[in-house]
A and B are shown apart, each in its own frame.
Chain A
Amino acid sequence: MSRKLKKLLVRISIAAVLFLAGMLLPLPVYGGFETNIILLVAAYLLVGYDIILKAATNIGHGQVFDENFLMTIATFAAFGTGEIAEGVMVMLLYQVGEWFQQYAVGKSRNSISDLMDIRPDYAHLVKDGETQTVDPEDVAVGDTILIKAGEKVPLDGIVKKGESFLDTSALTGESVPRRISAGDEILSGCINGSGLLEIEVSKEFEESTVSKILDLVENASSRKAKAENFITKFAKYYTPIVVFGALVLAIIPPLAGIGPGFREWIIRACTFLVISCPCALVISVPLGFFGGIGGAAKEGILIKGSNFIETLANVDTVVFDKTGTVTKGTFEVQKIQASDGVTEDYVLECAALAESHSSHPIAGSLIAAYKNRTGKELSAEKVSDVKEFSGMGVAAVIDGVEVFAGNDKLSAPDKAAVKFANVDAAGTVVHVALKGKYLGYILISDEIKEGVAEAMTELKKNGVSDLVMLTGDRKNIAEKVASSVDIDTVYSQLMPGDKVDKVEELIAAEDKKSKGKLAFVGDGINDAPVLSRADVGIAMGGLGSDAAIEAADVVIMDDRLSKIAKAIGISRRTIRIVRQNIVFALGVKGIFLVLGALGFANLWEAVFADVGVAFIAILNSMRTLYQRG
């Protein structure tokens, strides 16, 4: 509790005692003057002096619809009509409400920052053989730091010495520790589980993973959801309207001679003023979203803005990119089939050399397989004139001969101009050919990730009706993969550019059919345009991949697809809680406006209701922080 809050609590307590004494003690009456009024006024001044002061200064600044001002008017009016105890009670309850609000908001602010407690406080810098403890911001790229067991990794780097188990749960929500040893990349925000590690720093603190994640979560709340914009707009008009209503209530009926008389109407108008502050809504809605974002972050799901929580909650179509998302994206050479008179090694060497400049994972697996098989490095100087045919493969000149490597589209007359073997196997087939001569093919397969089928079932349970997979692979492979994991629709043999078109098509079809939104799930490596085109782009395995964090709206730190259903679940729950708050707070305020106007609710009941609503709404919002299971 801050000092300011403590002070307020003391003031409230003393004022409450004074108030009770004034109400209950049988104090003498001198010539019609009840001395207990002195106690009541003392209580009022003690608990409300700052409100009155603020009201005076703010009205000087032209802030007519300032809540302090309205509160002061309401209580003064109550005194004016002789309702002294009422007036004191109203101010007292109002301050109790303020106190609770500040306390609850402070609490939830703390629990969110605890959730995100990954910011490292220090680093052990090794300089000239000596170790000194410094601020992580003072460490430069290339410096060497030590990380002891149990400490947070302060900066991204490469392990130079030592081995250990790394606890990545603060970043990914994954509780199984990861083994790490010399040569491995290490990310800030993880916790070093056992041994002493010596790290060469590869990124400055500001650029490191931990800073990026914190920045993202903190800034997430500045991208506002529709519900939040609605509330700020609402707040802008609500207070003036209610105050105006109070004025009307105080003036018109008494002049028209309706009902119980001037004094009673003034009191009714005061109940309006007392519930004119929209604070319950203005606090609880952003608090709900903030909690949702914090709760998701704890699970290793980074949501970049409140607006994406809203979109995620409405997702009914999820489109997956196959490679790296449904499958592991690590390819391995399963089989090499050489034509007559050609050795398998030669087929592999041609393919590996032709693809040696490509960043596609298939290229990596070919190069790795060549090294494994022959024990030799590729001689890159043999290769020249590399041409890439998007969605087909490559052509390159190797030792003066043009070699083609890629899928069966390369058999076209203007490319290899030769018939390729017809292969029916699950996996990617890389055909290798010279101009007019077929050399053979290499079968590379990509494993399906664990738990994909379960993740799909989970998504369906969470209200996602359409599961779609996009891939550049051949139809039969794509369908085999899809059917084994229960994906309904597959679009295969897509060029990279086709994926954006396909997603646009799906969004258009979707818009016609229902209000549901479309999410695209990719690994963020080759699909940045698609990620940004979808209603919400979800990148998998974002840990350590800047590209994914940059391009996506939602980043899942590890590569488990089950997190998507979780993200949707968290979003749905957050939206539900936010809606409850809006309906509840507006409902109660509405009811009390009506009751107040009709004379069924007195002043302190109105304040009590107003404060109670704010309190309950805040508590309700805090539930978003704690996600079940």
Chain B
Amino acid sequence: MKKTFKLIDLDCANCAAKMEREAAKIEGVNEVTFNFMTQKMKLDAEDERFDEILDEIAKVCKKVEPDCQIVR
């Protein structure tokens, strides 16, 4: 399943790159891109575990940039 999410308070381009790197490592993620310019995340991940994966990504993002939130 592919879905796009809005990101709030993604302030630092380097953080976006870091999040992208970390999120891509999560199991079940086929492809994930963090777009600093449009403040959006595009996630392509396994259908059955999609929500679980999204939770994990949110956790990773919190680690890198505590302010940043994924709008679901």
Contact surface of A with B, Cβ cutoff 8 Å:
4, 54, 57-58, 61-63, 66-67, 98, 102, 105, 109, 112, 218-219, 221-222, 232, 235-236, 277-279, 282-283, 286-287, 290
Given the known interface contacts A54-B66, A58-B66, the answer about A286 and B36 at a Cβ–Cβ threshold of 8 Å is yes
A286 touches B66 (CB 8 A): no
Q: Contact check, B17 vs A232: say whether CB atoms are below 8 A apart.
A: yes
- Main secondary structure on B side of the interface with A: mixed
Q: 8 A-B residue contacts at CB 8 Å?
A: A109-B37, A218-B38, A222-B35, A232-B17, A236-B21, A277-B14, A283-B13, A290-B37
Q: Mark B16-40, 1 if CB is under 8 A from A, else 0.
A: 0100010000000000010111111
In the complex, how many angstroms separate the beta carbon of A625 from the nearest chain B beta carbon? 12
Tell me the bound Cα distance from A341 to B45 in angstroms.
71
Chain A positions within 8 Å of B36 at CB level: 105, 283, 286
A279 in contact with B12 (CB, 8 Å): yes
Across-interface contacts of A61 in B (CB, < 8 A): 63
Q: Is B42 at the interface (CB under 8 A from chain A)? A: yes
A58 to B64 alpha-carbon distance, docked (Å): 7
User: Complex formed: what's the CA distance from A491 to B16 in Å?
Assistant: 48
Those 8 A-B pairs whose CB atoms lie nearest each other, nearest first: A61-B63, A283-B13, A282-B13, A222-B33, A282-B14, A290-B37, A232-B17, A279-B14
Q: Contact at B14–A235, with CB atoms within 8 Å?
A: yes
Expressed in whole angstroms, the Cα–Cα distance for A279 and B64 within the complex equals 15
In the bound complex, residues from chain A placing their C-beta under 8 Å from that of B33 are: 222
A102 and B37 alpha carbons, distance in the complex (Å) = 11
Residue of B nearest to A238 (CB): B14
A-B contact number at CB 8 A: 52
Could you tell me the dominant secondary structure of chain A's interface residues?
Answer: helix
Please pick, from A63, A232, A278, A287, the residue contacting B64 in the complex, using a CB distance under 8 A: A63
A54-B66, A58-B66 known; A287 vs B37 contact (CB < 8 Å): yes
- The answer to whether B51 has its CB under 8 Å from any CB of chain A is no
Instruction: Apart from A63-B64, A221-B35, list 18 A-B contacts with CB within 8 A.
Output: A58-B63, A61-B63, A67-B12, A98-B11, A102-B11, A218-B35, A218-B40, A222-B33, A222-B42, A232-B17, A235-B14, A277-B14, A279-B12, A282-B13, A282-B14, A283-B36, A286-B13, A290-B37
Q: How far is the CA of A58 from the CA of B42 in the complex (A)?
A: 25
- Cα A58 to Cα B15 in complex, Å, equals 12
B9 at the interface (CB under 8 A from A): yes
Q: A105 — which chain B residues lie within 8 A by C-beta?
A: 13, 36-37
How far is B39's CA from A121's CA once the two chains are assembled, in angstroms? 21
Which B residues are CB-close (under 8 A) to A283? Answer: 13, 36
For B12, the chain A residues whose CB sits under 8 A away are 67, 279
Pair A57/B66 contact, Cβ less than 8 Å: yes
Min CB distance A263 to B, Å, is: 31
Least Cβ–Cβ distance between B24 and chain A, in angstroms: 12
Chain A nearest Cβ from B42, distance in angstroms: 6
**Considering only CB atoms, which chain A residue lies closest to B39 in the complex?**
A109
Cα distance, A54 to B64, chains bound together (Å): 10
Q: Nearest CB to that of B9 among chain A residues? A: A4
Contacts of A286 in B (CB 8 A): 13, 36-37
A179 CA / B14 CA spacing, docked (Å)? 49
Asked if B37 and A63 make an inter-chain contact with CB atoms under 8 angstroms apart, the answer reads: no
Bound Cα distance A244, B12 (Å): 23
In the complex, what distance in Å separates the CA atom of A105 from the CA atom of B13? 10
Pick from A67, A278, A286 the residue with the most CB of B within 10 Å.
A286
